Amino acid sequence: MDYEIRPLTQGFGAEIFGLDLASGFSDNLAQDLVGAWVDAGGLMVIHNQTLSSEQHIALSRHFGPLFGDPNESPLQDTVSRYIHPDHPEIYRVSNQVSTDGKPKGRKGAGTYWHSDVSFRDRPAQASLLHAKTIPPVGGDTIFADQAAAYEALSDGMKAILDPLYAWHDFEVAARTQYAKPVIAENDMDGANRARHPLVRTKPENNSKSLFVNPGFTSHIDGLDAAESQAILDFLYQHSIQPQFLYRHRWNEGDLLIWDNRSLMHFAVMDYPDDEPRYMERCTVIGETPA
């Protein structure tokens, strides 16, 4: 299958035109897309897709095992009501409510800088988000390249950060982003808390990225609270400078694939409730960060 690939920014990202994955795709094509995604720094938009849920899941499995796959971890309990009723591998994001009063998806998902599921021992690698319905304007998603942000630091700062570890805890987002009543008790039992290197290396190409995010990182291991906060505040300011960003303006049918190991993202919720937004996401379980 022929397709055209164009860079999205000077630094990272690629967009693909001319593919119709709904008409079927070979393992070779899927593996080529995974390779092109790695080469593009872990951000790829495949335009104009009408994938079924089964095809979305099948393509996602070429990146790795999925949260919700048989014998794999589900996402945290707090979001279980947003999982697709027929496909536990699909997490739904939406501002809409069904006629039975149940939400069609998590409203306001990811409206803060974060890396998906960074609070697990094996956090997310790729997330594959398929835009089914989007508002006429707004609802963009912004990505920040944490490999470029790391590279831009001085050698002295890299030497300070390289040996450090940080704690990631779903409770940070639960406290600041979720209404208290939806926090399930068993989200606090330790499964959603993990210690990761502050600078992680992608095994595919040995590139290093900052790996802390305001959504889920609670503190840097072994430092006083004030020291930890000062470093995190510096990194959060540093890592969202304009030269590290790409802002995606969605079209219906866009399939956006990002690498949570080297990108943070932020969903901009600037659209009203009467303008529907409905997206489906498969989330790939990554390796233990090193």
Residues that bind ligand SIN (CB under 6 A): 93, 109-110, 127, 129, 141, 265, 267, 279, 281
Shortest spacing between CB 276 and ligand SIN, in angstroms: 13
Nearer to ligand SIN, 231 or 285 (CB): 285
Residue 55 burial (C-beta neighbours within 10 Å; 0-12, 13-18, 19+): middle
Nearer to ligand SIN, 124 or 231 (CB): 124
DSSP state of 289: P
Shortest spacing between CB 166 and ligand SIN, in angstroms: 20
79 beta partners: none
Nearer to ligand SIN, 120 or 281 (CB): 281
Q: Which residue's CB comes closest to ligand SIN? A: 110
How far apart CA 33 and CA 16 sit, in angstroms, is 10
Shortest spacing between CB 277 and ligand SIN, in angstroms: 7
Nearer to ligand SIN, 89 or 208 (CB): 89
Take residue 223 and report the two structure tokens written for it: 């430092």
Take residue 158 and report the two structure tokens written for it: 């890299």
Shortest spacing between CB 281 and ligand SIN, in angstroms: 5
Take residue 285 and report the two structure tokens written for it: 């379980």
Nearer to ligand SIN, 143 or 244 (CB): 143
Nearer to ligand SIN, 93 or 144 (CB): 93
Pair 98, 114: CB distance under 8 Å: no
Mapping DSSP onto H, E and C, the string for 111-134 reads CCCECCCCCCCCCEEEEEEEEEEC
Shortest spacing between CB 131 and ligand SIN, in angstroms: 8
Which residue, among 65, 52, 54, 43, has the nearest Cα to 20 in the 3D structure?
52
Shortest spacing between CB 275 and ligand SIN, in angstroms: 14
Take residue 17 and report the two structure tokens written for it: 């035109």
Take residue 37 and report the two structure tokens written for it: 């995604």
How far apart CA 199 and CA 229 sit, in angstroms, is 17
